[in-house]
Amino acid sequence: MYEQLEKTVARYQELEQLLGDHEQITDRQNYNKLAKELSDIKPLVSLYREYKDLLKEIAGLEVVMLAKHDQDFMELAHAEQKELGQKKVILEEKLNKILAGEDKDAGRDCIVEIRQGTGGDEAGLFAAVLYRMYSKYADNKGWVIEPMYSSVNEAGGIKEIVFSVKGRDSYRCLKFESGVHRVQRVPATESQGRIHTSTATVAVLMEPEEIDLVIEPKDLRIDTYRSSGPGGQHMQKTDSAVRITHIPTGTVVACQDERSQIKNRAKAMRVLRARILEVKIENEAKKLSSARKTQIGTGDRSEKIRTYNFPDRRVTDHRINFTSHQLEGVLEGQMDELFEALLKAEQEKKNE
């Protein structure tokens, strides 16, 4: 452990020198890359330096205690030694967690995509239930939700909705939601009271920062068109809707929620960057099989991760065999118990 930490400190010092070099400053792309690396390892370096200072303090106290002192002094010294020992254990646990691969991106914001799956209109209504559930949870946590794109079906359900979530630990919790969500209930349109099974898919993408990824303008095709919004006095008179295609990957994103073409383009670019970054991260994870082993589930959008059973008032997460009989509470955004169980299972996998 200590050898790895010393190497990290050495790299940190090297990065500080490089970023102070005027030649590096002129190369903006390389400068941003080095700055991001420095920012990523700074918490670990700071923690390790604090740990080394603590070890020196402990060693100094032990030297003092070797000399003969009166009883009152020795009692105080032993109490301080015990307190420093407890701090040492806590710092070692923190260092081990980071070295074990604790998600350095856990504090990032995210973009969530919900789409109706199998089950027709009922699947769209269930997708709307999921959107409401996440909105309620975000409100409880003090997060901010920003709708970016949406389309509805004839029954008033959601065909697709894309929204960003900004707030402390939003990605840390919501990253577990990617996959297929299944509902078992009696639809409002069912006259004979039969239980139907429908699905909706959720994808949670980390919101990229400017230094995470560079997209060249020449790799983009941008089309504008008349958005299909509300009519009457709100009828669109201009081509405000935007469709952006990333030519190298074939990724396509459309946005028409705003009346301003500029705002729609900005939102579409955010989603596009998130989707491209997701593919990049997945490809890197496949190369490093150990990264896959620490995941709860595969992270695949086709994986069935959870069932919401209305007749039994039950929510079951199939990845960790977690079951709660507080269905109503979960749908009202009371999801802390579920996320705590997922986070605990993730940490246990990393420690295996």
Residue 26 burial class via C-beta count within 10 angstroms: exposed 0-12, middle 13-18, buried 19 and up: exposed
Place of tokens 């004979």: 192
Asked if residues 233 and 135 have their Cβ atoms less than 8 Å apart, the reply is no
DSSP codes, 189-208: T-SS---EEEEEEEEEEEPP
Residue 159 burial class via C-beta count within 10 angstroms: exposed 0-12, middle 13-18, buried 19 and up: middle
Q: Is residue 136 part of a domain?
A: yes
Phi, psi of 271 (to 5 degrees): -65, -40
State the DSSP code for 74. Answer: H
- Are 41 and 18 in the same domain? yes
Q: Is residue 51 part of a domain?
A: yes
Higher pLDDT, 271 or 3: 271
Domain boundary among the residues 253, 286, 319 is at 286
Q: Is residue 105 part of a domain?
A: no
Domain boundary among the residues 72, 99, 126 is at 99
- Are 186 and 327 in the same domain? yes
Does the pLDDT at position 332 exceed 90?
Answer: yes
- Are 275 and 255 in the same domain? yes
**CA-to-CA distance for 207 and 277, rounded, in angstroms?**
9
Across residues 69-91, what is the average pLDDT?
Answer: 89
Helical spans, DSSP H, in 67-120: 71-99
Place of tokens 């081990």: 96
- Are 194 and 323 in the same domain? yes
A 10 A CB-CB count for 202 gives 23
Does the pLDDT at position 309 exceed 80?
Answer: yes
Domain boundary among the residues 258, 286, 314 is at 286
Q: What is the per-residue pLDDT for 227? A: 67
Q: What is the per-residue pLDDT for 299? A: 46
Q: Is residue 33 part of a domain?
A: yes
Q: What is the per-residue pLDDT for 161? A: 93
Does the pLDDT at position 232 exceed 80?
Answer: no
Q: Is residue 163 part of a domain?
A: yes
Q: Is residue 293 part of a domain?
A: no
As a whole-number percent, the residues of the chain with pLDDT over 70 amount to: 84
- Are 204 and 222 in the same domain? no
Across residues 242-247, what is the average pLDDT?
Answer: 90
Higher pLDDT, 180 or 105: 180
Average pLDDT, the chain: 83
- Are 232 and 271 in the same domain? yes
Q: Is residue 122 part of a domain?
A: yes
Residue 232: give its domain's CATH number. 3.30.160.20
Q: Is residue 291 part of a domain?
A: no
Torsion angle in degrees (nearest 10) through CA of 29, 30, 34, 39: 0
State the DSSP code for 209. Answer: P
As a whole-number percent, the residues of the chain with pLDDT over 90 amount to: 39
Does the pLDDT at position 40 exceed 90?
Answer: no
- Are 134 and 193 in the same domain? yes
**CA-to-CA distance for 336 and 343, rounded, in angstroms?**
10
Q: How many domains, the chain?
A: 3
Residue 339 burial class via C-beta count within 10 angstroms: exposed 0-12, middle 13-18, buried 19 and up: middle
User: If we measure between CA atoms, which residue out of 176, 173, 178 comes closest to residue 201?
Assistant: 178
Q: What is the per-residue pLDDT for 318? A: 95
- Are 273 and 311 in the same domain? no
- Are 272 and 303 in the same domain? no
A 10 A CB-CB count for 219 gives 13
Full-model pTM: 0.63
Does the pLDDT at position 73 exceed 70?
Answer: yes
- Are 116 and 201 in the same domain? yes
Residue 163 lies in domain:
110-208+299-351
Q: What is the per-residue pLDDT for 104? A: 58
Q: What is the per-residue pLDDT for 302? A: 65
Across residues 98-118, what is the average pLDDT?
Answer: 77
Question: In which region does residue 165 sit, left (phi positive, over 0), alpha (psi from -120 to 50) or beta (all else)?
Answer: beta
- Are 115 and 200 in the same domain? yes
Q: What is the per-residue pLDDT for 297? A: 54
Q: What is the per-residue pLDDT for 235? A: 41
- Are 158 and 21 in the same domain? no
User: If we measure between CA atoms, which residue out of 276, 275, 295 comes closest to residue 285?
Assistant: 295
Does the pLDDT at position 147 exceed 80?
Answer: yes
Does the pLDDT at position 245 exceed 70?
Answer: yes
